[in-house]
Every structure is written in structure tokens, then in C-alpha cells.
């Protein structure tokens, strides 16, 4: 029997990524979560192996793989460490991808190879204290002054913020033009006035250094404008279409991990003289978990496959992200339930999965925003 959407290349890819993650990431996954530590020792290996340039073309230092490969890689990495899956998803889909899709040849040459080889880490800086789902409500500004933009921004909850070198800053270049006055400026760490704030002490995804990034009168060269002035929201939406597939794949990976742990524990743990798996109450949970995971996988792969066909993907990506994130919530919750009291302890991995899953319903568009997107697509 062959799996839908998947060909031999994807199977080889999945096996290879899984083997790497089991060997290099599994032994430290719990520790980096507890210590809230970004594992450079593994990230550097991943950089050499192409994980930071999954879809970038080979001539720019990337692996040149398709969107379905990207989804499988994020799924597999997140199955072992969701925080590292998050780092890769954001770096590949909302930092590197917009540079490839909207950048000039000179911008490609300047940033893409460094990002694709993982020698520089990318970040996407849209959210502000008072502008999250309401992206058009940002107040950051980038005003022209000679050969530079003078950037003032207060960006919060920046994934990879603590390690990012190349940041896509959404700012108003024409404050009078409303939504059409928002642009994307690429700011590099080290620019005077570029400040990385304290790391957030998060519930989950703790190995990812999420921080605020602030720019105070930072002078960024004029040729760091990505795309055209005023194109910011369009770039953001295009990036988020790809990003949603990544976050959906991440949620799928977490759910898959929780299912595996739930099954393992149900087979091992004895209560009332038999393994948990013999109790019908537990069987019902396992059946629901497996079904949720399967359905999420089909939706995620379909969205990725649709993008690879060059077809419009907003709806498929939004549905996949909504469903997979909600499924991750349900499945990790059930996995904790199967573990009973032990599932509430850091001694068991499901406790981490439960915390990690929660944010997939929030970031890169909340479940509610996704429902709005889907409804708009359905109702016209």
C-alpha cells in the first residue's frame, strides 16, 4: 500500500530526518526544554546538512526540495523537539522564503546563502504589543532619510529572536497611507540601535529563544527594503501561507509523538491486572488520537502538495493549520490522560508535548483567525 501524496524521495527523506533526529536531538530534547537552551551543537550540524535552506535553490546554498519535503522535515523534527521544529519552520518559511520570493538578485546574493546554510538565523518581526491578529495595526516606522531608513520598532514574541541575525521588520514607510503604507525592511543584528530584549519565559517551546526585538532610530540602508514600498502586508500574507503549512506540520509532529507515547504507555502500564491497552476506555482514546493524527497528516500533506502544484493554497493551508493545531491539543491532552498522574510530571515526555502543543493554536494566526480566513474562502 502506498501513502497518498508521498513518493520514494519523501520516504527516504523521512527515514533520514528521523534517523538524524533520533540520534542527535532525542538525547537532549527534554534537557534543552528544561534549561530553555538553544542547542547550537545540533543546529550547526543541521546547517551543514541543509535543514536551514530546505526549499532554497542549490545555487543559493539550499537543498532545493519541495513544500511536501519541507512539511515532512518539520513534522519529523517536531516529533522529537517541537522547539527546534519551530526554529526551522520560521527560519525557512517566513524569513528565507520572503527574501527568495520578493528579494532582488542582489538581496538573494547577500542573504540567501548565509541563511540557507544556517550560518545566519532569520526572524519575522510583525507582532507588536498592540498588534497581533490585527497586523495592519502596527505602529513601527521606517522613514526615509538620505540613503537610509530610520527604523523605530518594538516587536514582541519574535521566534528565534535571541539568535536571529537577519530580521524582517514590518514597519510603516508611509504613515499616512494606512494598510498600503506598510513595508518590510531587512535589519541585521549589530546595526546601531538594534536591541534584543529579554527572552520570554514560555510555557512550551522553551528551547526556542523567543524575545522582543527593538530598533531605536536604527539607520538601515535603503536597499534593505524587501519588494516594493507598501507591499508589506502582501509579503506577510504570502509568507504566512507557507508558514501555516510549517506550523501545521509542527503540530502534526507533536501529535504523532504524543500518540506514540500514549500507545507505548498503554501497553506497558498495568492496572487492574492487565495492561491499560486492554481497557476499553483507553482503547477509545487511542482510536481518537490515531484518527486525529491521520486526518491532520492528510490535510497537511495535501496543503503542501497543493502548493507544489502551483495552485492557490490559502484555504488548504488555513484548514490544515487549524485542524492540526486543534488535533495536537486534543491528542496531547489524551496522552496526558492515559499517563494519569505520571503524565503531569516532567519525568514523562507527554508533559512537554502538552505544553508545546498549546501555542500552535495561537501563533502564525490563531485558530479563530484561521476560521475567519476559511469562512471568507467558503462564503466568498
Partner 1 sequence: MSIHSIVCIKSVVRAAADGVGRRTPDNSELNPFDRPALEAALQLKADQGGTVTVLTMGPPVGAEALAEALAMGADRAVLISDTALAGSDTLVTARVLATAIDAIGPWDLLFFGTRSSDSDTGQVGPQTAAVLQRPFVGGVNRIARGEQGWELQRLMDDWEEVWQAPAPVVVTIHPMAFKPRAISLPGIAEAYACPAVEHWGLDRLALTADQVGLNGSPTRVARLQKVVRDRTCRMLEGEPPQQVAALVDHLERMGVMGS
- Name the residues annotated as catalytic: 364
324 φ, ψ to 5°? -65, -40
Tell the residue number behind the cell numbers 503540530, with chain if given. 251
**Of 5, 51, 111, 170, the one binding partner 1 by CB under 8 A:** 51
Would you give the binding string for partner 1 spanning residues 316-355, x where CB under 8 A is met?
Answer: ----------------------------------------
Which range touches partner 1 (CB under 8 A), out of 20-28, 273-281, 321-329, 352-360?
Answer: 20-28
Least distance between partner 1 and beta carbon 151 (Å): 34
Count of residues of this chain found to bind partner 1 when the rule CB under 8 A is applied: 27
- Look at residues 230, 235, 198, 237 and name the one whose alpha carbon lies nearest to residue 214: 198
Residue 6, sorted as left (phi over 0), alpha (psi -120 to 50) or beta, turns out to be beta
Which range touches partner 1 (CB under 8 A), out of 43-51, 96-104, 172-180, 305-313?
Answer: 43-51
Nearer to partner 1, 76 or 128 (CB): 76
Q: Are the C-beta atoms of residues 356 and 254 closer than 8 Å to each other? A: yes
Decide: is 8 part of the binding site for partner 1 (CB under 8 A): yes
- Look at residues 149, 106, 98, 142 and name the one whose alpha carbon lies nearest to residue 124: 98
Least distance between partner 1 and beta carbon 26 (Å): 14
Least distance between partner 1 and beta carbon 347 (Å): 26
Pairing assessment for the beta strands 194-199 and 225-226 based on DSSP bridges: unpaired
Decide: is 27 part of the binding site for partner 1 (CB under 8 A): no
| Grid coordinates given for 287 | 482510536
Tell the residue number behind the cell numbers 501555516, with chain if given. 244
Decide: is 54 part of the binding site for partner 1 (CB under 8 A): yes
Decide: is 45 part of the binding site for partner 1 (CB under 8 A): yes
Least distance between partner 1 and beta carbon 302 (Å): 20
Nearer to partner 1, 50 or 329 (CB): 50
Assign 3-state DSSP to the chain and report helix, strand, coil percentages, each to 5. 60, 15, 25
Decide: is 12 part of the binding site for partner 1 (CB under 8 A): yes
Give CA separation, 209 vs 93, 159, 177, 185, 252, in Å.
18, 7, 34, 22, 22
Query: How many whole angstroms separate alpha carbon 163 and alpha carbon 52?
Result: 14
Contacts of 185 (CB under 8 A, 6+ apart): 142, 149, 151, 168, 169, 171, 173, 220, 224, 225, 226
| Grid coordinates given for 2 | 502506498
- Give residues 67-86 in contact with partner 1 (rule: CB under 8 A): 69, 73
DSSP letter assigned to residue 207: T
Pairing assessment for the beta strands 182-188 and 194-199 based on DSSP bridges: unpaired
Decide: is 49 part of the binding site for partner 1 (CB under 8 A): yes
Least distance between partner 1 and beta carbon 139 (Å): 39
Which range touches partner 1 (CB under 8 A), out of 9-17, 143-151, 153-161, 223-231?
Answer: 9-17
Which residues of the shown chain bind partner 1 in the complex (CB under 8 A)?
A: 1-3, 8-9, 11-13, 15-16, 19-20, 23-24, 45, 48-51, 54, 58, 62-65, 69, 73
Amino acid at each position: 500500500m502506498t501513502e497518498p501524496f508521498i513518493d520514494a524521495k519523501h520516504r527516504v527523506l523521512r527515514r533520514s530526518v528521523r534517523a538524524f533526529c533520533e540520534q542527535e536531538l532525542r538525547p537532549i530534547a527534554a534537557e534543552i526544554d528544561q534549561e530553555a537552551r538553544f542547542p547550537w551543537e545540533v543546529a550547526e550540524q543541521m546547517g551543514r546538512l541543509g535543514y536551514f535552506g530546505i526549499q532554497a535553490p542549490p545555487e543559493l546554498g539550499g537543498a532545493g526540495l519541495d513544500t511536501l519535503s519541507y512539511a515532512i522535515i518539520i513534522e519529523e523534527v517536531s516529533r522529537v523537539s517541537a522547539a527546534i521544529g519551530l526554529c526551522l519552520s520560521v527560519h525557512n518559511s517566513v524569513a528565507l522564503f520572503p527574501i527568495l520570493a520578493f528579494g532582488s538578485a542582489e538581496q538573494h546574493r547577500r542573504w540567501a546563502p548565509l541563511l540557507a546554510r544556517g550560518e545566519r538565523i532569520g526572524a519575522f518581526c510583525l507582532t507588536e504589543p498592540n498588534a497581533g491578529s490585527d497586523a495592519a495595526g502596527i505602529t513601527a516606522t521606517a522613514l526615509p532619510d538620505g540613503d537610509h531608513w530610520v527604523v523605530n520598532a518594538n516587536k514582541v514574541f519574535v521566534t528565534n529572536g535571541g539568535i536571529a541575525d537577519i530580521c524582517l521588520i514590518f514597519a510603516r514607510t508611509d504613515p499616512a497611507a494606512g494598510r498600503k503604507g506598510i513595508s518590510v525592511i531587512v535589519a541585521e543584528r549589530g546595526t546601531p540601535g538594534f536591541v534584543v530584549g529579554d527572552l520570554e519565559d514560555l510555557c512550551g517551546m522553551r528551547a526556542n529563544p523567543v524575545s522582543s526585538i527593538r530598533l531605536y532610530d536604527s539607520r538601515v540602508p535603503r536597499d534593505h527594503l524587501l519588494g516594493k514600498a507598501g507591499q508589506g502586508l502582501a509579503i506577510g500574507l504570502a509568507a504566512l501561507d507557507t508558514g501555516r503549512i510549517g506550523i501545521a506540520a509542527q503540530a502534526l509532529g507533536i501529535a504523532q509523538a504524543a500518540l506514540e507515547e500514549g500507545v507505548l504507555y498503554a501497553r506497558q502500564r498495568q492496572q487492574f491486572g492487565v495492561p491499560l491497552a486492554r481497557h476499553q476506555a483507553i482503547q477509545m482514546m487511542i482510536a481518537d488520537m490515531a484518527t486525529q493524527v491521520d486526518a491532520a497528516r492528510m490535510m497537511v500533506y495535501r496543503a503542501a502538495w497543493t502548493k507544489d502544484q502551483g495552485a492557490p493554497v490559502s484555504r488548504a493551508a488555513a484548514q490544515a493549520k487549524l485542524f492540526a493545531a486543534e488535533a495536537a491539543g486534543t491528542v496531547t491532552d489524551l496522552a496526558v490522560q492515559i499517563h494519569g498522574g505520571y503524565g503531569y510530571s516532567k519525568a514523562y515526555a507527554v508533559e512537554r508535548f502538552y505544553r508545546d502543543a498549546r501555542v500552535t493554536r495561537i501563533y502564525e494566526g490563531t485558530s479563530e483567525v484561521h476560521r475567519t480566513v476559511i469562512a471568507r474562502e467558503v462564503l466568498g
